[in-house]
Amino acid sequence: MAVCYVEISGAVMEFLASSLLELIIQTSTNLPPDVRAAMSIAANAETPATQSSQALDIILSNVDMANDDEGPICQDTGMPTFIIHTPVGVNQIRIKQAVREAVAEATRLGKLRPNSVDSITGKNSGNNLGVETPVMHFEQWEEDDIEIKLILKGGGCENTNNQYSVPCELDHLGRADRNLEGVRQCILHAVWLAQGKGCAPGAVGVCIGSDRAHGYELAKGQLFRTLDDVNADPLLAKLESEIMEEANKLGVGAMGFGGKSSLIGCKITAANRLPASFFVSVAYDCWAFRRLGVRLDATGAIVKWLYRDPQRPVERMARGEGFPLTGREVVLTPPLTEAQMRALKVGDVVLISGEMFTGRDNVHAYLMKNPPPMDLNGAVLYHCGPVMLQEGGEWKVKAAGPTTSIREEPYQADVIKRYGVRAVIGKGGMGKKTLGALQEFGAVYLNAIGGAAQYYARTVEKVLGVSLMEFGIPEAMWQVRVRNFAAIVTMDAHGNSMHADVERATGERLEALQKA
Ligand code: SF4
């Protein structure tokens, strides 16, 4: 007999909220087994001692750290998106209420970053609740249990989603027509575009057809398939496997550093379309592919975890220490000088010990019109929106990986010029304007490992201060003291950019694949 929540009691609501809280915590902190398996394959395939392989070592250690301490795998816990199946007659309003309570509590506990911003006022709600947040999709079904699936997909990878209206012209690939060959070109193009911005190696969910809005929804829905499943449609199964093979020949590598591992999954569905439209919608998810699910009984208790094998315990991922040091690392202790920066070149690994400042979108926009609240002369500016909690009257860093730097491209050159910033840390690289400023003023861009939020949080010895808190925790300017913060010089003061080089090389491979 179907469960009925119409008369849902307070006790069941409490149980439901606590089951949902457990789902959120596990999703944020414990990578699912299929993603772990895919990441192990990716790491083993990578050439040892390359930058890509070093990045994967940090990523694998970070996965263990997150699980050990129940901390967010990545600081960007995204837009929490729930897919909920309920038996006919279940009170969905009460379930919505329980989801909202659990989301607010998970945020209070530092398992989710406060990520919900009013799009008109720019105000962060502070608890991940707001208009249409969290996202909840309800479906009825004829089963007795409630099923709730959750995906946490951060902004870096969300921003790299792409939708193609075919026919279209694609860089390096030429014209994509309205057929499966055109679909293949669009997907490869999306993987190529994502590079380090989406924290490769990632996975793609794809929808062929439908309309613009539903196509994206169906594409994201494909990310709820396990990475090792096989499409029931033989044509799509073949396309998925071809994409996996070809994308991993592109040479994107972990974090876009160049390497063998570019994609850990490709899942495709097709939906009917209008005769006039042919959309290919691509939802890109990064290596921090956080999705889990639960089945709940009539009391609100978890009776089954989805995407997990109860027979298989969580396996440790790290192959050794997080970032194997060679002794050739350059130690930097801010404030930094122009001469120190000009001595660095692309490929150098640096270890920073001392003070640094966080600053991302709001801080950069602020600095265009106002002087910095702290002295940035010789400073290290970290593109990071951390998870912070107050404990015993002090701020503690709970997760602190880099955010996608290209968003600051309109501002960065001016910030370097006006305030004397010597090193910018982020991920995915920056554009020509910033590269020019690095060269002119003697500064460098350092790539930290995207998603390695636990790894980097552990380098923070102390939070020294905070300014611009009116922007909310992730967007405030935090002053922290770090020890042995590892990053790679990917843009130097001599006009060199590893990002531009990898983009060029992968673009050539894309062309070669098309001609083959
Ligand atoms: S791993 Fe990278 S792309 Fe993914 S959520 Fe974290 S910062 Fe964003």
- Model confidence over 247-263: pLDDT tens digits? 999 999 999 999 999 99
Closest ligand 1 atom, residue 74 Cα: 6
Q: Determine the pLDDT at residue 129.
A: 98
CA–CA separation, 461 and 483 (whole Å): 7
- What confidence tens digit (pLDDT) does each residue in 352-376 have? 999 999 999 999 999 999 999 999 9
Token representation of residue 96:
């919505």
pLDDT higher than threshold 60 for residue 115 = yes
Q: How far is the CA of 90 from the centre of ligand 1 (A)?
A: 35
As a whole number of Å, the end-to-end CA separation of the chain is 58
Q: Of all protein residues, whose CA lies closest to atom 6 belonging to ligand 1? A: 451
- What confidence tens digit (pLDDT) does each residue in 455-505 have? 999 999 999 999 999 999 999 999 999 999 999 999 999 999 999 999 999
**Confidence bin at 7 (pLDDT 50/70/90):** low
Q: What CA–CA distances, in Å, run from 182 to 100, 186, 283?
A: 41, 6, 17
Q: How far is the CA of 171 from the centre of ligand 1 (A)?
A: 25
- Whether 437 is in the pocket of ligand 1, judged by its Cβ within 6 Å, is no
Mean pLDDT of 9-38: 93
Closest ligand 1 atom, residue 198 Cα: 3
- What confidence tens digit (pLDDT) does each residue in 403-449 have? 999 999 999 999 999 999 999 999 999 999 999 999 999 999 999 99
- Whether 74 is in the pocket of ligand 1, judged by its Cβ within 6 Å, is yes
Instruction: Say which residues have a Cβ less than 8 Å from residue 88's Cβ, sequence separation at least 6.
Output: 2, 140, 142
Q: Of all protein residues, whose CA lies closest to atom 8 belonging to ligand 1? A: 156
Residue pair 478/381 in contact (Cβ under 8 Å)? The answer is: no
Q: What mean pLDDT is reported for the chain?
A: 95
Q: Determine the pLDDT at residue 5.
A: 46
Q: Of all protein residues, whose CA lies closest to atom 4 belonging to ligand 1? A: 286
Report the candidate in 357, 338, 514, 496 with the shortest Cα–Cα distance to residue 430. 496
Closest ligand 1 atom, residue 288 Cα: 1
Report the candidate in 241, 162, 239, 256 with the shortest Cα–Cα distance to residue 202. 256
Which residue shows structure tokens 């996965």?
A: 63
Closest ligand 1 atom, residue 401 Cα: 7
Closest ligand 1 atom, residue 197 Cα: 3
Closest ligand 1 atom, residue 287 Cα: 1
H or E element at residue 136: strand 135-141
Q: Determine the pLDDT at residue 327.
A: 85
**Confidence bin at 112 (pLDDT 50/70/90):** very high
- Whether 300 is in the pocket of ligand 1, judged by its Cβ within 6 Å, is no
Q: How far is the CA of 156 from the centre of ligand 1 (A)?
A: 5
- What confidence tens digit (pLDDT) does each residue in 150-202 have? 999 999 999 999 999 999 999 999 999 999 999 999 999 999 999 888 999 99
Instruction: Say which residues have a Cβ less than 8 Å from residue 473's Cβ, sequence separation at least 6.
Output: 113, 114, 124, 126, 385, 386, 387, 388
- Whether 240 is in the pocket of ligand 1, judged by its Cβ within 6 Å, is no
- Whether 194 is in the pocket of ligand 1, judged by its Cβ within 6 Å, is no
Q: How far is the CA of 242 from the centre of ligand 1 (A)?
A: 26
DSSP percent split of the chain into helix, strand, coil, nearest 5: 35, 25, 40
Q: Of all protein residues, whose CA lies closest to atom 1 belonging to ligand 1? A: 451
**Amino acid letter, residue 187:** I
Token representation of residue 466:
């905070």
Q: How far is the CA of 454 from the centre of ligand 1 (A)?
A: 13
Closest ligand 1 atom, residue 402 Cα: 7
Q: Of all protein residues, whose CA lies closest to atom 7 belonging to ligand 1? A: 451
DSSP H helix total and E strand total for the chain:
14, 20
Question: Can you tell me whether residue 200 is helix, strand or coil?
Answer: coil
410-414 contacts, C-beta under 8 A, 24 or more apart: 411/364, 411/365, 411/367, 411/368, 412/364, 412/437, 413/437, 414/367, 414/368
Question: Can you tell me whether residue 264 is helix, strand or coil?
Answer: strand
Q: How far is the CA of 198 from the centre of ligand 1 (A)?
A: 6
Report the candidate in 26, 68, 53 with the shortest Cα–Cα distance to residue 454. 68
Residue pair 506/252 in contact (Cβ under 8 Å)? The answer is: yes
**Confidence bin at 82 (pLDDT 50/70/90):** very high
